[in-house]
Structure 1
Amino acid sequence: LMVLTEDQEETDRYWNAIVGNGGSESACGWCKDRWGFSWQITPKRLMELTTSPDRAKAKRAMEAMMTMKKIDIAALEAAAAD
């Protein structure tokens, strides 16, 4: 299941609700709830950065995302800006 979020606050809220109630973290915005269902908590900003027409910027954002469990929007934006 995929949840598109508006900002870091909403991303954190969904992530913490799933992981904090018996779930587990995985890579790249993925986590599992206590029943074993997989969720991808995806900020809309991640989608914007990784589909940027500036391919170098998109690549930097994708590479940063690959190192994350919960998506950190500020870190993605910093990586994309380099």
Structure 2
Amino acid sequence: MTFVPAYKTIFARRESLESQREQEWLAKEADRKHREHVHELKHRRYTESSLWVPSRFRKNRRDSNASDSSDTDKTTTIRWAA
């Protein structure tokens, strides 16, 4: 009967180590998911589907600014790609 407190402390320590490992694993998993999400967002930023209109808008705005510098009376129009 004298060994019961020793067993309790051993099992309590084992449980605390397991919970600490589990928390570390969960933190690593959350970190990995976050990095994966950021990578996906960066990849999506460079695909044509997400920036279809703004890229055309920026391109046409450059063209219209170049034409506006030569023609000041001409109104600026945004030409959309077909």
User: TM-score w.r.t. structure 2 length?
Assistant: 0.23
More helix by share: 2
More strand by share: 1
User: TM-score w.r.t. structure 1 length?
Assistant: 0.23
Q: Which structure exhibits the higher relative contact order, with contacts defined as CA atoms closer than 8 Å and separated by 6 or more residues?
A: 1
